[in-house]
Structure 1
Amino acid sequence: MDVAKSRHLEGSVNFYRLSRKFVDESEMPQEAKDIMYYSLAIGHHLGVVDCLKSEMQCSGEEYLEWFSALEEGSEAYNKMKGFLVFGEITINPEHINMLALAFDKIDTNKQSEKSKYLTQGLIDILTAIHKEPNMYLMIRGGQ
């Protein structure tokens, strides 16, 4: 795939961090609530609503410039390139070390101010995910 021709570069790129979760109990019969709470207790999140907070935003071209500084073909590069293929990616706790190490290797002298901002913002979010493993980051295209 030619990354520069992705249709997902046309709009904005938004970085959303999970800020909280809540259980949607509106108009739910007690029997259904009992099943939902049981499923939560065993690890299935039926009825749970994730609240995502916008943390950063950039243009598609800025995103491409930013992640292209990673080693092409590396696991980190391929993870971030996934946005161009699917229009969104999720970064979970298992991605923290891999991404942090890869973005830390980038020579900041060769980065634009926006790329430096995105790198520092990502590192801050990865640190927050490390401290709270139930958190995740969603990178999704916007308008």
Structure 2
Amino acid sequence: MAGMKGLKKQRRIQIIAVAAVALALSTGLIGYAMRDGISFFRSPTQVLAEPPHENELFRIGGLVEEGSIVRGQGTSIVFNVTDGGGTVPVAYTGIVPDLFAEGQGVVAQGRYIDGRFEAVEILAKHDESYMPKEVVDALKEQGVYRDDAES
């Protein structure tokens, strides 16, 4: 009889151990996902006013400045992001989204190094529902943002 009881106890310990590992993993994953969501957002004006540390991953957003897109070798591209008050040059290598165009909203994730934003990801935004509220507010503040519904 005693052998049976020992087996049950061992089984319970195994279940607890598995549950603890699963909990630790999910906590880690949530933390990782949150970390991505916490990458701070800044407008070009804010970036120029107080340049972030080179190691800091953050998002910059605004409009792609008219006439600023320069395509380089392969998939490299350089363009300016502006909010009307400030303009920051952005360098990126990779495929840009279909909606990426001059005069359109854009959000780029990356780092600000030596006066240039080195993007690791470009997200083109075509309307207010996609554009972070901070971008829209920054653009409206500078009088640059226009609602397509109005025009």
TM-score for both structures, normalised by structure 2: 0.22
Structure showing greater Rg:
2
Higher relative contact order (CA 8 A, sep 6+): 1
Answer 1 or 2: which has greater helix percent.
Answer: 1
Q: What TM-score results when the alignment is normalised by the length of structure 1?
A: 0.23
